[in-house]
Structure 1
């Protein structure tokens, strides 16, 4: 009798990321460097940040790495971002979910396991979508960087930042990230468009593409589009109001247009891209707290982003509102929120809060920095964002270990927890995941 090979999705995710980090570390260590010697710890930190698509760095990418080192980082970002997106879709299918209107992604067997052919089929669909979106963004970015750097380097900059943005990685080839392009309409529209699309998630993008046929939007699509718009616009407005008079940030820009473009990028990037067009260490304390909240929330399930997810936030808000109005069943966009979804949201949120607290506590012990800076760094690492108030390049050896652990946990833990809770309910009640909000 032929034996069927099946893989547990959480094991596939954790083992795959760990192996990818180790391989990336070796490749980066032995890749030619431009100006500096790269230690094993620096190579490991960079590989971990690239695979978890975080963007925190202990050494500047452009000045440190040669073309080959940058190419390794690009591949690690692409594989890490699309690998998580693929896993998220596979986990949904393994629990009986379905991607509407796509014959190459159908419900799997009810045994909470993933067959290799499902992995290949799903990976192909995710990669195809990513390449189309990234390819479309290359041209406008090349219009900025080819005149500035020449054809070869300009196209390379365009490709590198396209992959980094779509995968919500936040790696840049410039030491000051995108501060040199504050107010540039092309950079401040194309780059956010890439990481916002990547942060929506595969399922949401497919739901939007299928709208022309079905003429209706799934509950996950509605929540993600509404949540993304509200958080992005409110964040941009708050950053502009809080920073417009700050001589260290927005007040240095020449006009209103530049300030608005910069506020837009800086408000959208915490969920969870990690680019910055303002000096993060120069932000006021209220603005830093706003960014920490956005980093904590993150973007969409089944996406290249992390955080507790937008759907998780809205599920908790709906549950709170229902409790205040003394309703027994939370409702969101006229859809009832079941117990499974609510438990997922609670589990992911509580674990995120505990993770940030423990990380902040550990960094407070190992690092000589104020509480805001330490808490900001911990939130950025667990949310795999990549924004820093200047602490990461100065981390001690133990501090680097803590941040690497937080980046890894922040990348794999929310989906793993959501999968385990969902599989427990699915195995006990054979409940379909199709109508549930996607959490984790």
Structure 2
């Protein structure tokens, strides 16, 4: 006799008992190793490529940094460039997916027309959550990249022809949205310092990618009369303030520099160049001015912007805009002798404040250690070394000319910093958040840090 199975006895699919930070680190390492092997294939390069340089390029692409030890277009064939493109896309979207999954695994919830259900169990990531999240992130990214591809093609197809022009457009679209900074030109975007289309579309891509999935969805689902989520408010406000202030400071500091802005013929060209160069340190890594020719004050401003980075849950790195504003709010509360800091009329809870402090302190220590290590291995001045360390840890990709001249030990140090800078901020934020979630502490705000 056959017995029917009681429907109530059916169990839900078992969760994957995998820590999201471990999943992120393992995924990035696997991508880097696979990318290294693919870049070493004979038909991937036009000249012989050392294993060390292949590993460096793969690490830079997966961590979407953009620091390069070889000229991308001159060194790699179309196949090699395709591998780099896929590594950039996987690295950028992988981080966005992880950021949302980490939120879900801590019991968070994203409610919108792009609805994602939380598993509700700490450290338990269901396969259905992984697939659903990945699909939504990829879908949104492809739509944005597809829209941006058109205006870029209108610029590069007439210059390079149909096939090469479309490839240039696709490559730079993926690189910009994922905040990677890889280009097919040896001088990055310096030839387009005053081009309105390039200086509009490329920054739009890396700024949107840097906002993060949660913020983008919050903007798309906004309705008049409904209050914006605090993350959307803070990230948008921070992005606006840093972008405009950075542009103004860069213009004022470089307007008389004959090697940078003063070399451009028109005021409009100078303003466009100031705009791109002030926004790209938010982990994008493109440059329309010669970074090595910037004055010391300007370099320090760029280092600050690289340290801050983009928005949480986005394709950029750094300590994040939200982290900066949380620390500023806490400092302001201390100066005014208030017991609890507030941001956008909301009280900042202990968990959020500890996340911000942990991420910031570890970033400062990382930059110091990286600068110290590079000072021992490289023959360069302190500003150049510190700039390189900040760029690597922030996965920015800007350099004052040190990267192509790095020693073997220097390359190894930069690779470690790129990897740590990509994985560490979200890992620290997740660990602090999970510790408080396990203790049952009440969360008053839902600010995303890391």
Equivalent in the alignment of 1:293: 304
**Paired residues for 1:52-131 under 5 Å:** 52-102=63-113, 104-131=115-142
Contact 1:95 1:112 in 2 (8 A): yes
| Residue 216 (structure 1) shift | 1.9
1:210-359 to 2 correspondence within 5 Å?
Answer: 210-212=221-223, 215-359=226-370
Retained in 2: the 8 A contact 1:295–1:379?
Answer: yes
Q: TM-score, normalised by structure 1?
A: 0.98
| d(CA) in 1 for partners of 2:334, 2:372 | 33
Q: What is aligned with 1:177?
A: 188
Q: 1:26 aligns with which of 32, 37, 45?
A: 37
Two-structure CA RMSD over aligned residues (Å): 1.3
Larger Rg: 2
Taking the aligned partners of 1:342 and 1:60, their CA distance within structure 2 comes to 42
Instruction: State the distance in 1 between where 2:223 and 2:169 align.
Output: 32
- 1:50 and 1:80 in contact (8 A); partners too: yes
Shift of 1:101: 1.4
Residue 438 of structure 1: aligned partner: 448
Structure 1 segments unaligned to the other structure (5+ residues): none
Query: Number of matched residues?
Result: 439
DSSP 3-state at the match of 1:254: coil
How far 1:31 sits from its partner (Å)?
4.8
1:96-142 C-alpha deviation (Å, 9 max, x unpaired): 11213146312222323211111110000000000000000011000
Residues 291-323 of structure 1: CA distance to partner in whole angstroms, max 9, x if unpaired? 000000001110000000000000000000000
Over 6 Å off, 4+ runs: none
Change (3 A) 1:213 1:103: farther
User: Under a length normalisation based on structure 2, what TM-score does the superposition of the two structures give?
Assistant: 0.96
Separation in 2, partners of 1:255, 1:115: 56
Deviations 1:74-95 (A, max 9, x none): 0000000000000000001111
Q: The residue matched to 1:225 in structure 2 has which SS?
A: helix
Name the structure 2 match of 1:36: 47
Contact 1:7 1:115 in 2 (8 A): no
Say if 1:105 and 1:121, in contact at 8 Å, map to a contact too: yes
1:140 alignment counterpart? 151
Q: Secondary structure of 1:98's partner?
A: coil
The residue that corresponds to 1:193 in the other structure is 204
**Mapped partners of 2:357, 2:257: distance in 1:** 37
SS in 1 for 2:124: coil
Distance 1:378 1:332 in 2: 31
Structure 2: which 5+ runs fail to align?
A: 1-10
